[in-house]
Amino acid sequence: MAHVSKPKKFLIRVRDSSLAALEGADQKAVAVQIFILLVAVATISFFFNTVEDYQETETEISALIEIGKAGAYELPTKVAPITQGIGALIVASAFLLSLRLRARLTDEQRIRLTKIIFWITAFGVLVAWLPSDFAVTQSGIMGKAMAGELPSSWAYAGKLILIGLLILSFPIAVMLNYRSSIMDQYVMRNFLTPFAFCLTAFVSIFIIFDLLNNATDLAGASAGTVLKFYIVQLPMVIVFVLPATLLLSLLFSLGKMSTSNELISMIGAGRSVMRVLRPFFLVGLLCVLVSLVFKYEWGPNSVGYKESLLALIKQERLDKKNKKTGSRDASKVAKFGWMHVNEVDNRTWFVGRVPRNLAKDKMVSVVIWQMGDDGRPDIIWKARTAKWLHGMAPPEWWLYAGKTYTYDDNGVPRVQSFDKLRLPGWRETPWKVLSSSQNAEHLGLPALTMYLKSNSDYTKRDLAPFLTNWWDTFAEPFWCFVMVLVSAPLGIVYSRRGVMGGVAASIVIFALMYVTRGTLISLGQATIIPAWIAAWGNNLIFATVGVALLWFRSQNRELPKLKTILMAPFRRKSVVAKRTPSFTAQQNSVSVGNSPALGAIDGVLDSEALQELDETLAEIAPQDRKSDNSCGAQTALF
């Protein structure tokens, strides 16, 4: 027998004891405890990260205040670390309470304790998230105001409301689960397993492909930076894969229950098709809420932040090569190279690096041309950095470390250097200068609302991409519910033909939805169709298709085949032509087609042929009556 080392024996004993404990433990209680533990770990980690960011930001801004380059209003708020610490403690207490879930508890005690645990966890997350997010939102509103534009308060309020609804949806879902019937719980168990598998598989596939595409840029980056790179992208990835996940999981679960005749048994027990599918509709609405929360701001911002993180990774690799300390400036850049023209004051701006935070960060490599009436430059300012000081009354621009080129009548410049230069009385604000550099795909609904409001003097064609994306912020999440409407009836099969027909039809419809959406969005951005039609048209078209399919299933009717639908107009004309006799006045004849009794008769019947047909039918009639009488006698005998 092979010798086994002591550490290996210890690990084997731990594994065996763990498996034995899991086999004897309550699996539902263990699942609840693991879920609450993950929430507690996430909340505590966010708390420590917030405290670390707060200390770094406070130290940096305090140093700038001492040398007069920042104001006290730029100091971070203490609300976020305090509330997140309190919320982390509440969630940790919920986890400790979940350890009381034991197999010896009665069903009523278990249900009551589970509901309390989920409500305490939701309350802890609300305490940790909403006050800190509200403070960040207020800071963002103030920051945008410091950048020269007042944001929309209702757009930011909508974000907080949606986050609160998402957090509260978990304890509400637990209460609905315990209130539902055994059949509904069975349907949900059959659905959740493939749903979790498909969601995990799609996200993993995306990460693998993205890792292959960005392997060159990510080479040499720290593990924390790479992990942050993919965590930042998760909101948009989930919004993208949720419709496909719902499609496949619904087809799998409903197809499995159809082939085992479980759906027929449910309907035979008195449940209607709509009642059987009700849990799926609720799941679709929950997915709409999740997608709407992610699409509202986090998802679009993550797309833009991804590019900033790639710049940060490249900067880290360059610093490591030059043996310098890591620079974080690259992660603050939204765009490289942007030009703004102020036609009213004849000024042209060129900004080398556009900062992501317009209120706190400076613009880098700034060149400003003051043009004369003759189209020639009067003054040119070149500065290493530029900042708009909102705290001054009135606010004004300051240029740092640059030169001024003043041109005389002969076009000869007089050069002057400066360390700091005031430019009072200018009407440009950071938002006016840099908002046109924003990409509509990278803006959430609050930023889109502010962009449309501040740039209302732009042409419709310039605003069309932003207006279309504004409507699409609400329309794209409803893909999830439309996908439930389409895939649910296609997954139900009554006949023996199998589920492959429904699977093929679902895949075709899914592909058509993507093609239609892309086409409509392009038409909306080109101002060919209204923006709201471009965003919602795809949902309206396929929701109508889904409702029609549901109607067929609710009437216990087979879904019409595509060939049947396409050939229906031509078949109707053919039937009408066959059923309509054509009389010929000259020959006193009748033209007939196929007859079940006489077979196929082609051509024209004259009067003699009609007389022979009448005699034949007269001979057949007595035999039919005799046959009917004999059948009746046999029936009476039995």
Phi and psi angles of residue 20, each rounded to the nearest 5 degrees, phi first: -65, -40
pLDDT at residue 107 in the model? 82
pLDDT at residue 264 in the model? 81
Q: How far apart are CA 633 and CA 70, in angstroms?
A: 110
Nearest one of 184, 42, 33, 21 to 113, comparing CA atoms = 33
pLDDT band at residue 536 using 50, 70 and 90 as cut-offs: very high
Cβ–Cβ under 8 Å, residues 427 and 137? no
Write out pLDDT tens, residues 156-191: 888 888 989 999 999 999 999 888 888 888 999 899
pLDDT at residue 467 in the model? 92
Nearest one of 488, 536, 524 to 509, comparing CA atoms = 488
pLDDT band at residue 282 using 50, 70 and 90 as cut-offs: very high
Q: Is 290 helix (H, G, I), strand (E, B) or coil?
A: helix
Max Cα-Cα span within the chain: 128
Cβ–Cβ under 8 Å, residues 194 and 253? yes
Nearest one of 163, 105, 114, 99 to 134, comparing CA atoms = 163
Q: How far apart are CA 347 and CA 370, in angstroms?
A: 5
pLDDT at residue 271 in the model? 83
Q: Is 30 helix (H, G, I), strand (E, B) or coil?
A: helix
Q: Is 404 helix (H, G, I), strand (E, B) or coil?
A: strand
Considering only residues 635 and 567, tell me which one the structure prediction assigns the higher pLDDT: 567
pLDDT at residue 122 in the model? 94
Percent of the chain with pLDDT over 90: 20
Considering only residues 69 and 88, tell me which one the structure prediction assigns the higher pLDDT: 88
Beta bridge partners of 414: 406
Entry pTM? 0.73
Q: How far apart are CA 304 and CA 292, in angstroms?
A: 18
C-alpha separations of 85 from 51, 139, 441 in Å: 9, 20, 34
- Sort strands 604-605 and 589-591 into parallel, antiparallel or unpaired: antiparallel
Least confident of 239-253, 305-319, 383-397: 305-319
Write out pLDDT tens, residues 489-509: 888 876 555 567 667 778 888
DSSP letter, residue 147? T
Counted residue by residue, the chain has a size of 638
Whether residue 484 has pLDDT greater than 60: yes
Q: Is 439 helix (H, G, I), strand (E, B) or coil?
A: coil
Q: How far apart are CA 319 and CA 354, in angstroms?
A: 21
pLDDT at residue 599 in the model? 42
Nearest one of 26, 217, 197, 209 to 113, comparing CA atoms = 26
Whether residue 26 has pLDDT greater than 60: yes
Nearest one of 42, 30, 43, 45 to 98, comparing CA atoms = 30
Least confident of 17-21, 498-502, 592-596, 609-613: 592-596
